[in-house]
Structures are given as C-alpha cells and as structure tokens.
Amino acid sequence: MKRIILAVLLISAWGCSSKNRQPTELMKKGAASSVVSDSLTRSLADSFTRKYASTSQMIYVPVYSHIYQQDHKKTFNLTATLSIRNADVANTLTLTKVLYYDSKGKVVKNYLENPLPIRPLASTSYVIEENDLRGGVGANFIVVWEAVNLVYPPVVEAVMISTSQQQGVSFVSQGRVLEDQNSDSLSSQ
C-alpha cells in the first residue's frame, strides 16, 4: 500500500513540476515520461499483486452470540452476520468451507454443502439469529476459499448488533488469515 501511495505522489509531483515547462519541452519528454509512468504503474501493480494476491486462504472470524452485561450471569444477546465480499474486480473465487464453531471449539453448523462461487465484487452472508446462543461468547467461523487465478483476497468480517432492552449495540469483527497460498509461496515451491 505504501508503494502505491508513493507512486501516486511521484506521478503527482511530476505532473506539478511539468506545469511550468514550455509545451515543446513537454512534447519532447512526453513520450518517454509516459512510458516511465506506465512502467512504474505496472511495476507497482505487479508488486502489489505478488504481496497481497492469493489463490487460497483459511480465515478465522470471531463472532459473539451474546456478550456479558454487568456480571458473568447477565447476558446481552446479539444477531451476528458473517459477510464475505469478493474484493477482486475481475476474478471469481469459490467458498469451500463456512463452519460455525462454539466456545468449546465444536462445530455447531456447516453452512456449505457444496462449493459456492462468488463473482467479482459480489458478496454473500450468513446470519446467526439473536436467540441462537449455541456459539457462546467465544464463537467463531472458519472460512476457506480458493480461486483458479491469483485474486485479491475477500473482505471477511462479522457484524454483531442488537437493539433490545432499549439499547443499541453494534460492532464489527475482522477476519484473520490463518493460512495463505499467495504468489510468493507459489514461486518458492
């Protein structure tokens, strides 16, 4: 990300400094500088792809079916929504596992019977209803996805919300990558 910002700053700085030049000077240097600019942009995009793109990941997502209120005995029930968003603009990815675990690490529910393709910029979600307390305070999802080509990884997060008891509670929990098959590990095999 820092490299992309640096590239934008460099390109912006070049554009600002070129405003004071005479048009003939710009015409002479224009072709060469656009090649350098295009080359720099491609290089940064390739670097970004090598660092962040992947063909498969296993993602851990913490969720809460309820939280404690005042003491360990009184709880506040929550509705949890697992959201999986394909952030790649050109490639489909396929979900192969969406497993919901309880606080003791036991599978409560398998949400996928068959692989589920997610088209570019599309998303899917899974809901744990407010009255479903099977997961507990330490519940989590394991999400596994794969793709034929290198893709930008999906955004995987859980949103917990409740508006009961004359209160409104909402928060987001980000997914954490446990295993990643990215281009760097592919090239080292």
pLDDT recorded at residue 153:
94
CA-based max dimension of the chain? 78
- pTM, 2 dp: 0.70
Q: What is the pLDDT of residues 73-97, one digit of tens each?
A: 777 788 899 999 999 999 999 999 9
Q: What is the pLDDT of residues 43-54, one digit of tens each?
A: 555 555 566 789
pLDDT mean over 116-127: 97
pLDDT recorded at residue 12:
46
On whether the CB atoms of residues 66 and 137 are closer than 8 A, the answer is yes
pLDDT mean over 150-176: 87
Correct CATH for 55-182 of 1.10.10, 1.10.443, 3.30.160, 2.60.290: 2.60.290
